Structure 1
Amino acid sequence: MKIRINHLETIMNSLLRIGLLAAFTIAPFWVQAQDDEKEPAKKEPVVAAKQYTDEIKALAQTPSVKKALAMFPEREAWTRQNLITLTEIPAPPFAEEVRGRAYADMLRKVGADSVWTDEAGNVLAKRRGKSGNKTVVLEAHLDTVFPAETDVKIKQRGDTLYAPGVGDDTRGLAMVLTILDVMEKTGVETDADVLFIGTVGEEGLGDLRGVKKLFNTPGLKIDSYIAIDGLGSTSITHRGLGSHRYLVTFKGPGGHSSGSFGLVNPHGALGRAIYYFTQDADKFTKQGVRTTYNVGIVGGGTSVNAIPFESNMQVDMRSESPEQLAGIDKLFQAAIQRALREENAMKRLGPDLTVDIEMVGDRPSGSIDQNNPLVQRAIAATGHVGAQPALRVGSTNSNIPFSKGVPAITMGAGGKGGGAHALNEWWLDDKSYLAMQRTLLVLLAEAGVR
């Protein structure tokens, strides 16, 4: 047995052409699966403590901030054009460079103090604060789930924009850019440094590699993290849904179905492993914090009359509880070893099967308390713009700061949309300026206004 942890760029490219294209043919089910990643909002209204409501109200009345808030509706046409420009630049997983260069140029043009691209491909723009004693991040991700050959040309029907990636998360990139632009145009000054960032590797097997790089960069201390992902003006993700993802490959000698009968069969081991895992996982997930599991892709074999030399599967496990995630992972590992032993015990000739277990995704769980100042400010700012705050759990770039004890939230980029991760993805401007207004208020409350 061999266990490895790898980002699997090569495998990702092939899976994009197989698994992802299959997902396009069942888009409604895929979209539902994405939506189910986040819990429904709590039924009871979410209200911030009075001190934070008062703080946001006072901040919104500061002359420079008041001017900035009023400018967002005026800048929507410009934001929309940037959205179109960026959407039409392909940004497949592990190949975000072209979009990254374009985004860096946009950040420079609106007046960031310095712009650079790190070793992972993240694009960072720094706006210096008066003291610089604190660093606040405002971030959206550059990558989409679509392979390079996907047609990402915007198609407009009425007021609605259609294109793969137009909402997730290109709208977030456009929004981050507009917030920097408006701060520059209105002269809003902060006490803390603010980093405006386009990250790589948020989607799928990218495994949050961009934000992982940020938090492993020597000399870069991040004090607050605000991610923009998803749409609308209500969601506040303050709990991280962790996940473990594996590629498991059973390997044997292979041979003729009759002439080599008695050799170990990788498919037999794979079938046993799936059976044992799902039986144990079903019992395990009926108790405790919500935990999910899925065998998403299986493959291998060459012919009906050939004993396969390889059989593989991809498995996804999720929970916001680190303990639950570790528990179901343990069951998974045990099921694989049991299946391996039993299949090898059945052989009549030839060598044993082997198994390669490759961890292709590791998103840590974590959260910040609802009473944390960052969450309270987000609740207060959402209410201030006339929206109803909705606290959620999700799998986003905020998972990494959650796991490191850094205050973080993920908020929507405004407007309405649908078809995320599907070819028919769409976005509609429905008071999307509200999302920018509330995000600016949260950012400034964290960074301090001078």
Structure 2
Amino acid sequence: MHSMNRPFTIAMVASALMAGTAQPILAQEEADDATEKVAIDKRYVNEINALATRPAVLKANQIFMDLEPQTKQDLIRLTEIPSPPFKEMERAKAYAALMREAGADSVWLDEVSNVLAKRKGKSGKKTVVVEAHLDTVFPAGTDVKVRQKGDTLYAPGVGDDTRGLTAVLTVLRGLEKANIETDADVLFVGAVGEEGLGDLRGVKHLFRPNGPKIDSYIAVDGHGISSITHRGLGSHRYRITFRGPGGHSYGAFGIVNPHGALGKAIAYFTADADQFTKQGIKTTYSVGVIGGGTSVNAIPYESWMEVDMRSESPERLAGVDKLLQAAVQRALKEENAMKRSGPDLTVEVKMVGDRPSGRIEPTVPLVQRAMAVSSYLQAEPALHVGSTNANIPIAKGVPSVTIGSGGTGGGAHSLKEWWLNDKGHLGLQRIMLVLLAEAGMAK
């Protein structure tokens, strides 16, 4: 991340506008070759400035600070409920109970165990989603007990994304206690299946045919108050398995060997993908896991690998995927051509992950509002590409961003993950301001 030469706040810009000398506020957008500067339209600067100074909003800001002890307890409680991939039900039930207690008009779990808490708006003509994800990357049996050293909380999943869950919950509490009514309906969501092989299944279900109408989407993931993800990093993930009869390394010599095919497939794919990814929009590939075989003196009956490919360009992602498919078929053909006896080798190519790519332009009101809010809070807005739950609505053209929950943290996806409440209330203010700007405050 590159620092801007001069940070701006909304107060500075408002003053400059009145003086007729305003320079546009700029946000950084990480591009492939350089960092672009994206201007924030003064309409959204003025909108956020007016919204942030309304008495009810100022009251909610104070409520967020008053609620910090409760928010901390909610974070500890939820973190200590294990929520491994595909086993989020216990945490979902606890989160739903907290949403009911916070004052949502209706709370339910859908068919895949997403938690949905609806807060009705005055007109209800549109629906805005504020979401964090329920799952963590850690398998069942992981010690998720929260330990505190000084002001820092340590536990697997404490930041990613349990802090996001508690931030969304506390924003709901703040709106209720400050008696703030929105014009649009708001759905507060705890989503399943964001991590790994969960493959965004919770949000894919939200956007299923005949699912709820969603007009804007605000995902809460990560920490801080600067980052704004408005570009979806797509990915294809495969588990590829070569299978043969298997046999004794001497007695069955001459039959097909799945390891030989797997080795060829990896070599052909990585050589071609290396050339393909040296130009154009950043596109990546990785053979992450391989396995198979039973003994040093046995020809294996199967050999498998798991492959990850990523790009924010659907075309480039499809291109590197095509190279993988070709490499696998070439390896299969060549290994079968080498056999001296027995049946042919077979291959199974199973897609285990499909995250779509996409982009919401920085000129879209939701992105502009998110930038303006960061700047109002005296943070430098930075636009990013990322792989989050927002990939699904982004790919469908629904205005969407992913923003942090405030505070600071580190060690995500590790047993030493930590989160520190360093002005964490600013993250709550940020979520609320972006939400109210998008949903509208009822008169």
Q: Which amino acid aligns with 2:108?
A: W
Question: d(CA) in 2 for partners of 1:75 and 1:227?
Answer: 22
* Structure 1: runs of 5+ lacking an equivalent: 1-37
Q: Is the 8 A contact 1:238 1:409 kept in 2?
A: yes
Say which SS state the counterpart of residue 172 (structure 1) adopts. helix
Question: d(CA) in 1 for partners of 2:151 and 2:53?
Answer: 33
Work out which of the residue numbers 155, 162, 166 in structure 2 matches 1:170. Answer: 162
Question: d(CA) in 1 for partners of 2:255 and 2:384?
Answer: 51
Partner of 2:441: 449
Q: Deviations over 1:291-312 (max 9, x none)?
A: 0000000000000000000000
Q: 1:194-273 residue pairs with structure 2 within 5 A? A: 194-216=186-208, 218-273=210-265
- Of stretches 91-100 and 433-442 in structure 1, the one that deviates more from structure 2 is 433-442
Partner of 1:294: 286
Question: d(CA) in 1 for partners of 2:433 and 2:269?
Answer: 47
Task: For residue 44 of structure 1, report the CA deviation from its aligned partner.
Answer: 6.5
Question: d(CA) in 2 for partners of 1:73 and 1:104?
Answer: 23
* Structure 2: runs of 5+ lacking an equivalent: 1-29
Q: Deviations over 1:11-37 (max 9, x none)?
A: xxxxxxxxxxxxxxxxxxxxxxxxxxx
Q: Is the 8 A contact 2:205 2:211 kept in 1?
A: no
Work out which of the residue numbers 107, 115, 118 in structure 2 matches 1:126. Answer: 118
Task: For residue 71 of structure 1, report the CA deviation from its aligned partner.
Answer: 2.2
Partner of 2:6: none
Q: Which amino acid aligns with 2:198?
A: G
Q: Is the 8 A contact 2:277 2:283 kept in 1?
A: yes
Q: 1:287-326 residue pairs with structure 2 within 5 A? A: 287-326=279-318
Partner of 1:280: 272
Question: d(CA) in 1 for partners of 2:336 and 2:35?
Answer: 53
The structure with the larger Rg is 2
Task: For residue 424 of structure 1, report the CA deviation from its aligned partner.
Answer: 0.7
Question: d(CA) in 2 for partners of 1:43 and 1:262?
Answer: 56
Q: Is the 8 A contact 2:219 2:402 kept in 1?
A: yes
Say which SS state the counterpart of residue 379 (structure 2) adopts. coil
Q: Is the 8 A contact 1:40 1:392 kept in 2?
A: no
Q: Which amino acid aligns with 1:109?
A: E
Q: Deviations over 1:236-265 (max 9, x none)?
A: 000000000000000000000001000000
Does 2:63 correspond to 1:74?
no
Say which SS state the counterpart of residue 158 (structure 2) adopts. coil
Q: Deviations over 1:415-447 (max 9, x none)?
A: 111111111111111111111111111100100
Q: Which amino acid aligns with 1:52?
A: Y
Say which SS state the counterpart of residue 439 (structure 1) adopts. helix
Task: For residue 219 of structure 1, report the CA deviation from its aligned partner.
Answer: 4.9
Does 2:427 correspond to 1:435?
yes
Does 2:183 correspond to 1:191?
yes
Partner of 2:405: 413
TM-score for both structures, normalised by structure 1? 0.90
Does 2:94 correspond to 1:102?
yes
Q: Deviations over 1:118-172 (max 9, x none)?
A: 0011000000000000000000000001111000000111111110000000000
Work out which of the residue numbers 346, 358, 361 in structure 1 matches 2:353. Answer: 361
Q: 1:340-351 residue pairs with structure 2 within 5 A? A: 340-351=332-343
Partner of 1:84: 76
Q: Which runs of 4+ in 1 moved over 6 A?
A: 38-42
Question: d(CA) in 2 for partners of 1:77 and 1:358?
Answer: 47
Question: d(CA) in 1 for partners of 2:32 and 2:405?
Answer: 18
Q: 1:374-413 residue pairs with structure 2 within 5 A? A: 374-413=366-405
Sort the Cα spacing of 1:160 and 1:214 in 2 relative to 1 into closer, same or farther, 3 A: same
Q: Is the 8 A contact 1:41 1:391 kept in 2?
A: no
Q: Is the 8 A contact 2:63 2:177 kept in 1?
A: no
Question: d(CA) in 1 for partners of 2:144 and 2:211?
Answer: 38
Sort the Cα spacing of 1:314 and 1:44 in 2 relative to 1 into closer, same or farther, 3 A: closer
Question: d(CA) in 2 for partners of 1:158 and 1:40?
Answer: 40
Sort the Cα spacing of 1:217 and 1:173 in 2 relative to 1 into closer, same or farther, 3 A: farther
Q: Which amino acid aligns with 1:426?
A: W
Question: d(CA) in 2 for partners of 1:190 and 1:42?
Answer: 39
Does 2:368 correspond to 1:373?
no
Q: Is the 8 A contact 1:46 1:379 kept in 2?
A: no
Work out which of the residue numbers 38, 49, 57 in structure 1 matches 2:49. Answer: 57
Work out which of the residue numbers 153, 163, 169 in structure 2 matches 1:161. Answer: 153
TM-score for both structures, normalised by structure 2? 0.92
Question: d(CA) in 1 for partners of 2:73 and 2:34?
Answer: 35
Sort the Cα spacing of 1:96 and 1:274 in 2 relative to 1 into closer, same or farther, 3 A: same
Q: Is the 8 A contact 1:47 1:380 kept in 2?
A: no
Q: Is the 8 A contact 1:233 1:432 kept in 2?
A: no
- Of stretches 431-440 and 331-340 in structure 1, the one that deviates more from structure 2 is 431-440
Question: d(CA) in 1 for partners of 2:94 and 2:302?
Answer: 43
Task: For residue 69 of structure 1, report the CA deviation from its aligned partner.
Answer: 2.1
Say which SS state the counterpart of residue 249 (structure 1) adopts. strand
Q: What is the number of residues matched between the two proteins?
A: 413
Q: Which amino acid aligns with 2:60?
A: A
Q: 1:324-339 residue pairs with structure 2 within 5 A? A: 324-339=316-331
Partner of 1:35: none
Instruction: Give aligned-pair identity as a percent.
Output: 69
